[in-house]
Amino acid sequence: MSLSTIPSFGLGTFRLKDQVVIDSVRTALELGYRAVDTAQIYGNEAEVGQAIAESGVARQDVFLTTKIWVDNYAPAKLGPSLEESLRKLRTDYVDLTLIHWPAPGNGVPLEAYMGALAQARERGLTRQIGISNFNIALTREAIAAVGAGNIATNQVELSPYLQNRKLAEFLQSQDIAVTSYMTLAYGKVLGDPVLAEIAARHQAAPAQVALAWAMQLGYAVIPSSTKRANLAANLQARTLRLSDADMAAIAALERNGREVSPAGLAPEWD
């Protein structure tokens, strides 16, 4: 499976609820977004499904991702939980389903939940499968369970302040796409003077620079926003080309600035 099966740019919906997420998805689709990322634990699948259904954009033209929550990893639960997600999302299938967190020690062996996820794909509930928040060791276990060619992506926190190079290089060596979430580090990178200077040179915004940086490294990005102007601006990052000097300056911003590492869910990070 080639890396190109994952859209390089999409809309994230983490923390967006109710009418806010409906408006965000609807506006994004109007502006030309064609990939939307949600998860069972976000509590917004029904609203995301409603926004897509009412958008006038054909279902097959939207790349839709959801993630299985930890409570549903047992093989007897995983398939039924995904069927419930499909009902909420008003669709017969999703394009990509991820295991949300490795949750070591939650009682379900990795091999069991990866196998159940692969079965869900065989049943046509999802076109592709993948993982999220897996370190190198756990990604190796997932590969052993289902094969590298069956893991479309590992969606991980990755920003100019947390560049995750070791993991990213490993994933790329396995032809597993890197999807970066929290690319703007909860907005922290937006005030960065280095990004501001690069942005000024390109007549762009710092957010566009951070997103362009990740895409230029070959990563997919899924920024979220509730504001039409920001949704439109983020989309412009697809056409922003940074110079080698720009990329080197951003590479120097690494500070292991992790924002998300929930106890009991997160692995030992690389």
**The one catalytic residue among 42, 73, 93, 219:** 42
Order the strands of the 11-12 sheet from edge to edge. Answer: 11-12, 35-37, 63-68, 94-99, 126-132, 153-157, 177-181, 220-221
Catalytic residue list contains 219: no
Quick check: helix, strand or coil at residue 193?
Answer: helix
User: Helix (H, G, I), strand (E, B), or coil: what is residue 149?
Assistant: helix
Reading the block at residue 81, the tokens are 């939980």
Q: Count CA atoms within 13 Å of residue 258 on its CB side.
A: 11
202 in a labelled binding site: no
Measuring CA to CA, how many Å separate 95 from each of 65, 66, 111? 6, 9, 22
Q: What angle do CA 128, 129, 135 make, to 5 degrees?
A: 145
SS3 of residue 106 by DSSP: coil
Cα angle 60-51-72, degrees, rounded to a multiple of 5 = 80
Catalytic residues: 42
**Which residues define the annotated binding site?**
100
Which residue ranges make up the annotated binding site for substrate?
100
